[in-house]
Amino acid sequence: MEIFRGFFLIFLALGFQVAAGKQRVGTETPIIGVLSQETYIISSYFPNETYDSYIAASYVKHLESGGARVVPVWIGQNEDYYRRVVNYTNGLLFPGGGTYFNETGGYGEAATHLYNIALEYNDNGIYYPIWGSCLGLQALMYAALNGTKDIRVDCSLKNIAVPLEFSDGYQSSKLFSLVPKDVIQTLKSKNCTYNQHRYCLTKAVLKENDLLNDWNILATNKDDNGLEFISAMEHRKYPVYGVQFHPEKNQFEFKKGKGFPHSFDSIKTAQYFANFFVNECKKNANGFSDESVESESLIYNFNPKYTGLKSAYYEQLYVFLKEDFRKHQLL
């Protein structure tokens, strides 16, 4: 009887572990770095002010909606800074927006540093995920080519939500193998993934650059001219994911006439991507060694500005100055 009860308790404990998502090592309270970018597309909202980088607040809220906290990551820093970023955070998000990758000290250069360091961690047995949305997905390919080549092609699909065209075998991908049935049904049949881009990546251009051995294309769509582009992809070996669409806008952008999907089902798809990625980050156990450095580094130290009256897309932006970069060095 006692033995029987012992087995039952072990069984129960195992059951809880499985129910909790097989969390063995890692953290229940992940902190995710979000890369900032040059201000090309937002500078006109602030005619009398000059900022050095920004992050659209929707990306921050998206991660927060999945149960994460955020640390802003600066452009134009040295390798040591980006090493601290990876060492202290549980994952990274490269947001959408608009910039050139070839700028010295810009988003492309920062993404390349961070990507290389993240892969090094993974190679050393430390699970460290990265997510890229829109420009962020494109930056993943720039980084995968070690910052040597911008392989984006011209493409146009704007102000529109579409269903995803899934590629063969998507069911066995990391990104979609555990997706709930109702969410996959929505992704396949409803106008729920929001597109707003003038560049994209295609299977052909990945093939030309020998990237298909490393990357698995999970879904595609066609642009206004019938060009098939990559809508979702993941690295075959590392926990690195990219989507061309904007899950964060379903939840957090509201400008009228832009076609943002806000239906119950569309929000559920967006929430799936947030939950998925935050859960990936929970598998990592990195963290700040110093609590005061942690609290000084969190995005809570900054206030987003309401830009909805000026911007065609963004309700709120975090804007930063070089002085902020200096003050929040994760030191």
Ligand X SMILES: *[C@@H]1O[C@H](CO)[C@@H](O)[C@H](O)[C@H]1NC(C)=O
Identity of the amino acid at 38: E
Q: Which of 19, 22, 47, 124 binds ligand X (CB under 6 A)?
A: 47
User: How near is the Cβ of 189 to ligand X at its closest, in Å?
Assistant: 6
Kindly name the residue from 62, 113, 235, 246 that is annotated as catalytic. 246
Token pair of 122, please?
Answer: 């993974």
Q: Please identify, using beta-carbon distances, which residue of 82 and 272 lies nearer to ligand X.
A: 82
Q: Please identify, using beta-carbon distances, which residue of 5 and 125 lies nearer to ligand X.
A: 125
Nearest C-alpha neighbor of 242 from the set 144, 103, 100, 122: 144
- Helix H segments across the chain? 2-19, 57-65, 79-88, 107-123, 135-144, 181-189, 203-208, 247-252, 264-282, 291-297, 322-327
User: How near is the Cβ of 258 to ligand X at its closest, in Å?
Assistant: 13
Q: Please identify, using beta-carbon distances, which residue of 53 and 173 lies nearer to ligand X.
A: 53
> Taking CB under 6 A as the rule, does residue 305 contact ligand X?
no
Q: What whole-number distance in Å separates Cα of residue 102 and Cα of residue 117?
A: 19
Contact between 101 and 149 under an 8 Å Cβ cutoff? The reply is no
Active site residue 155: no
- 3-state secondary structure (DSSP) of residue 159: strand
End-to-end CA distance of the chain: 57
> Taking CB under 6 A as the rule, does residue 44 contact ligand X?
no
Q: Please identify, using beta-carbon distances, which residue of 59 and 127 lies nearer to ligand X.
A: 127
Tell me which residues in 81-140 interact with ligand X (CB under 6 A): 83-84, 87, 100, 102
User: How near is the Cβ of 243 to ligand X at its closest, in Å?
Assistant: 19
Active site residue 134: yes
Q: How far from 238 is each of 68, 209, 232, 248, CA to CA, in Å?
A: 21, 19, 15, 23
> Taking CB under 6 A as the rule, does residue 222 contact ligand X?
no
> Taking CB under 6 A as the rule, does residue 185 contact ligand X?
no
Binding site for ligand X (CB under 6 A): 47-48, 83-84, 87, 100, 102, 146-147, 160, 190-191, 287, 289
